[in-house]
Each structure stands twice: as C-alpha cells, then as structure tokens.
Chain A
C-alpha cells in the first residue's frame, strides 16, 4: 500500500502494509475508550455520527476516515468537523477510493495522510498536494 503523509510539513511517500501502519489496530469494541492511548487508532465510516468518535478523541493518535467512493463528500466534512468542532489534533488518515484529484481538497479539510487507491500512480499523486498557489478558503490543515 502507498501512503502519502504530510506530517513533516511536506508530502512524502511511504510503503505500508496496513492502513493503520504506525499505530495499533483500530479500536472496535464498545467501552474501548478506557483502553485508548496515543498509539491507538480509530476507524470511522463516512456515515458516522459524533457518538462513534467523540468518547475517544482525547486519547487516540490516529483517526482513519473511510472514503467509500471518490464522489462521496462526507469524509471532507467529518475531517473539517473533527478539527474545527471537536478540536482533534492527532493524525487524520483517509483510506478507500482515494485518488490523486482528491488529495488537495482532502488535505485542506484537515486530513494529514492518505492511503492511495491501489490504481493510483503514487509519484504523480505526490505533486497534487499544494498544486494551487491560491485558494479562496482558509486551510484547515495549516
């Protein structure tokens, strides 16, 4: 799997073997909030409501957002809400049907790393983040 991460301040390409790479396998069971820590990850589906993530936010280090199909706009708003509403400061990683044309937008909504759809050409995807020199909206990731 190809991962693009912007955590160092600029986009970098990494090869990973699991979408939660760098963290523990996503928490699943109810009540797991007690066990959550900085190495924990949490998987959120596109239709998730706040109850699916709110109890964990203070502890987990990685939130995995699912983009079921590239035309689905919900993860963009979820990411923006996690940053603006819930003040989540950890890593947000998107996985699923993640294509190069989406990266810049996803990034500006507060997403910091991207597991690419396997058909995407990783090298050209890398150049997409920061493609535009001018935006009309503030950058939530910044």
Chain B
C-alpha cells in the first residue's frame, strides 16, 4: 500500500497543529462557532445526537495491520472500545470528546491516518474496488490512480468550499464493485490497443434525488485525469446551486444543464488546463505504482476448484460463500463478514480490530481492505491456509458465511446515533436478521441485497438494493418506506417504491413476505429483480401488504 514520505508526514503534522489551534480558540471563545463548525467538519468531526462523531478516512479501503491495531487502541483510549465501518470505506467513532480531538488526530497521524475531508462540502474520501490488484476480472489496478486523486483532492485550495459534498469512486475491473454510477464522479479504468483510458461518469448519487450518473467522456487519456477533473469541479464550484442544500449536488446541475451543455461547459473549462502544469508527465505514475506492487507470492498450485460443495460442512459452506478467486494461482481473496447476530452491521470492537490485524499479518501480507458493504477483505490468502484461517475467524465470531446473502445487510447508524435520522435502522436490521435463523434456508434463497437508511440521505444505499428500507417520520412515529428492484454495481438502477410505509413492528414480516413471494415465483436461477421484472411489482405488493391494515 502507499507508504507516506517525510513530506506527507510533515503535512499531516501541520494539519493536526492547525486543528489544535482552532479547537483551542473555539474553546476559548475567540473562534466563532459557525466558523469552527466548518473547520471541524473538514477534519471529520460531526456533533451527533449524543456526542461528537469522528469519521476517519480509509483511503480506497486499504488498511494495514499496524493501522488496525492503532485504531483498536484509539477506540479504547478515546471512545467506548468499538467503532463502525461505513458504506464509504471510512470508520467512525461514536463517542470521542471534542477536547480530546487534537490528541486523537495526532495519534492517527502517527500511523499515517487522518480524518481530513471526511465531511463538509468538499471532496470526500476516494473510494474504490475492495479487490483492486487481486480481482480475477481486473483490467488495471486502480489504486495508484486512487492515491493520485487522494493527494490531489487533499486540501485542494480551489475546492474546499463546494456547494455540497463531493464523492469520487473508481474501478479498474470488468464488474463494478465501487458503485461508480451513483457517485458525483465515477471513473472506470479501461484499456484498448492504445493503452489505458478512463471512462468518466458524472452526476450520479443517492439521497433525496437518486440518479444514475451519465458518461460525459468515454475515453480520457490518463495523463489528463487531473486537469479534466479540475474542469468538472470548476464548473460545479461556479454554477452548482448554493441557495438550497437539497439542490446543491452536482447531479442537480448536470440534470438542469443537460448532459450536452454540461459536457460543453467542462470542455470549455478544460481548454485552459489541458496540457498545462497539472498534466501527468510520462513516467510519473510508475513511482506510485511501485507502492502497490504485487506482494511476494509463493509459486503455488491452484487448489482443485470443481468439486461439489458439502453444504453441511461449515467450512465448505463458508468457502463457497466467502472465498473469491484471485489473479495469482494458489491464492484466494477472503471476505470477512461484519454482519453478525446481535451486533450492529459494520460494528467492530477493539478486540475485533486486533484480531483482524493479527489475521492480516498471519495470512495476508499485513493488509486488509474495507468494503462499501461494511465488511472486511483479506485479499491475499494461500488457498491451503483457508481451513486454518476459517478456524481462527471462528474464535472471534468472524466466520459467518453470508456474503451477498439476505443477512449481509447494509445499514446506516440511523436514529441510535445520527442526529439527521427519521428512524432507527439498527433494530430493523436486527429484526430482519431474526427471520433468517436457518443459514441453509438463507443460502437457498440466494443472493439478495437488503439495505437500510435512517433518512433521505441514504447512507445505507437503500435505493440500489433489491429490497430498500428507508426510515420516515410519520407524525412523530418511526415508519419505513419500502422499495424493490434496486440494483448496485454494473447494472445499477434505482428501486421503485412499493406502497405505503409500514410501522417498525411490521417491517421484518413485510420483508419476509417479499422474499417468500420471490421464492414462490422464481424460475430456476432467476434473481430477485428478474422475477420482479417478469411477474410485476403488483404481485410483490399484494404479497407484502397481505393482512396489513395501515
């Protein structure tokens, strides 16, 4: 992974000192509250329902064993011994104290971590494919480019005060695991006879107005990446709406201008920058690439793959569900589920973090990845060590075989923590979890995405789930609106609202009836959405609301 140099460290140290000074002035009453709010947001600190919340960046999801261990120590020393992985490759602490923040940020800086631009109207953490560099379907490794963008976007002087937050995701694989179609900018690294190029998507996003992005440049030479993105951001910074925060995202601007005019405005702005000083010189990405060179793989024989799966064997079931193919013969990528019974989705204790650090060290070259589905990946595991790893995971309650299944729910912190919430989401996930007691039944149900957000902001990505659940406020009561037919990834699409919202007590049964309806009507190996498209939403609707009066 990327190794900080002296300059990177000095920068981070100065940033920490700057924030320490700002915090001191705020606490002394000499820095106005409305100004400090903006400054602390740009250092990842929210004031939440019960306490401050700190969002720490894990750039494009890559984290080392040492960093995981440092995070564990930080949750103990500054918080209540646990943390939460988000849907944007960040990790959140729920109970830090404002006065302790400068020390906390310095502790993070000791392991080359920070919380810069994890909130506020600026360019947020750059996200990417959790299988970057190892995926069997990869065209090119996106990580050097992700690091380039991380550096470029860090304290970008021109883009620190955008109309609204701005999220960039990139992928280099055939199938998109970074959800580029629902980002402000989505980048897809491709290659043809002339070499690598980027497909540039703009204006996707979830939230109040869910939209799939549009491709404004199908073929951008990599050397123009920075100047082209600068042009997009410049157009947005100038013309994005600042009068209404619900209409301030770039997707609204792209929609209002139309794809053609927006593209033309970007090209006009680009003309002043193209081939200028920020053009990436030939040979300058290679040094970054060397930070992501392949680890010292052993020469191994691949394990035989085509054998029947003994699903009554816990290891076999886990292997079939959670172990993924790898570019290197004899290696596998292992998915570790953080969707565990009785624990909020994506939550980890300090002990979990330490266990993950140990396992990353023992089995995966000391690195782990964080996924936007709020899980962990060990990307480089020898196939022959899988049984051993499975056992070790079991000792820490990290061996659940539910990747991509119904209980692998994406769930935001919701009303338990978040001050913007209309309703709680963690108890909803727990209630749905209750209805999937039998792992074999869940396996037979097959791949299914159920995502839960506590409000319109859609941190739980409910729009792009097969079954999406959104907390709404109905005269002070917690209700939930359901949507069906959403799809993440390549074929990204926004789900359709099913019907009237339902009370908390009903939600798990409605979801159960939806899954039963799917099982009842599906042909062979049809997915949930294929069945839905074939039989129509009405069938699902009447099944879902059966017996409900409200």
Residues of A within 8 A of B (CB): 70-74, 76-78, 80-81, 84-85, 99, 101, 104-109, 131-138
Contact = CB atoms under 8 A, between A and B. Distances in A.
Given A76-B237, A85-B269, A133-B11, A71 B155 contact: no
Contacts of A107: 157
Contacts of A106: 157
A72 B163 CA distance: 8
B492 to A, nearest CB: 29
| Listed residue (B10, B38, B121, B242) with the most chain A CB atoms within 10 angstroms of its CB | B242
Interface string B271-292: 1110011100000000000000
Interface in B441-490: none
Contact of A73 (B14, B237, B271, B278): B237
B151 A136 contact: yes
B272 A84 contact: yes
Contact of A77 (B7, B38, B155, B234): B234
B157 A76 contact: yes
B390 interface: no
Contacts of B54: none
Contacts of B160: 73, 76, 105
B22 interface: yes
A84 B14 contact: no
Interface of B: 7-8, 10-11, 14-15, 18, 22, 35, 38-39, 121, 151-152, 154-163, 234, 237-238, 242, 269, 271-273, 276-278
Nearest to A111: B157
Given A77-B234, A132-B14, A137 B273 contact: no
Contacts of B157: 76, 104-109, 135, 137
A133 B161 contact: no
A81 B265 CA distance: 13
**Closest A-B pairs by Cβ, 7 of them:** A73-B161, A85-B272, A108-B157, A105-B157, A136-B151, A134-B11, A77-B237
A78 to B, nearest CB: 7
Given A73-B159, A73-B160, A76-B161, A101 B39 contact: yes
A74 B162 CA distance: 8
A77 B121 contact: no
B34 to A, nearest CB: 9
A80 B35 contact: no
Contacts of B15: 132
A59 B199 CA distance: 42
Given A84-B272, A134-B7, A137-B152, A71 B277 contact: no
Contacts of A77: 158, 234, 237-238
Contact of B162 (A73, A80, A132): A73
Contacts of A132: 11, 14-15, 155
Contacts of A72: 161, 242
Contacts of B159: 73, 76
A74 B238 CA distance: 5
A125 to B, nearest CB: 13
Contacts, number: 85
Given A77-B238, A85-B269, A131 B158 contact: no
A80 B158 contact: yes
Nearest to B159: A73
A132 B156 CA distance: 12
B152 A73 contact: no
A122 to B, nearest CB: 14
Contact of B154 (A84, A101, A108, A136): A136
A71 B38 contact: yes
Given A85-B269, A105-B160, A134-B14, 17 more contacts: A70-B35, A72-B242, A73-B121, A73-B162, A73-B237, A76-B158, A76-B159, A77-B237, A85-B271, A101-B39, A109-B157, A132-B155, A133-B7, A134-B11, A135-B11, A136-B151, A136-B156
A135 B242 CA distance: 28
A81 B159 CA distance: 13
A15 to B, nearest CB: 22
22 contacts: A70-B35, A70-B161, A71-B161, A73-B162, A73-B163, A76-B159, A76-B237, A80-B234, A104-B157, A105-B155, A105-B158, A106-B157, A107-B157, A131-B14, A132-B155, A134-B7, A134-B8, A134-B10, A134-B14, A135-B155, A135-B157, A136-B11
Given A73-B160, A73-B163, A85-B272, A136 B155 contact: yes
Most A CB within 10 A of own CB, among B38, B151, B158: B158
Nearest to B15: A132
B272 A81 contact: yes
Nearest to B273: A84
A107 B11 CA distance: 18
Given A76-B158, A80-B158, A81-B272, A71 B14 contact: no
Contacts of B162: 73
A85 B269 CA distance: 8
Given A71-B38, A99-B35, A131-B18, A137 B161 contact: no
A134 B162 CA distance: 22
Contact of B238 (A78, A84, A109): A78
A135 B151 CA distance: 9
Contacts of B272: 81, 84-85
B35 A133 contact: no
A137 B238 CA distance: 20
Contact of A109 (B11, B39, B158, B269): B158
A24 to B, nearest CB: 28
Contacts of B158: 73, 76-77, 80, 105, 109
A99 B162 CA distance: 17
A99 B160 CA distance: 14
A136 B420 CA distance: 34
Which among A104, A131, A137 has the greatest number of chain B C-beta atoms within 10 A?
Answer: A137
A62 to B, nearest CB: 21
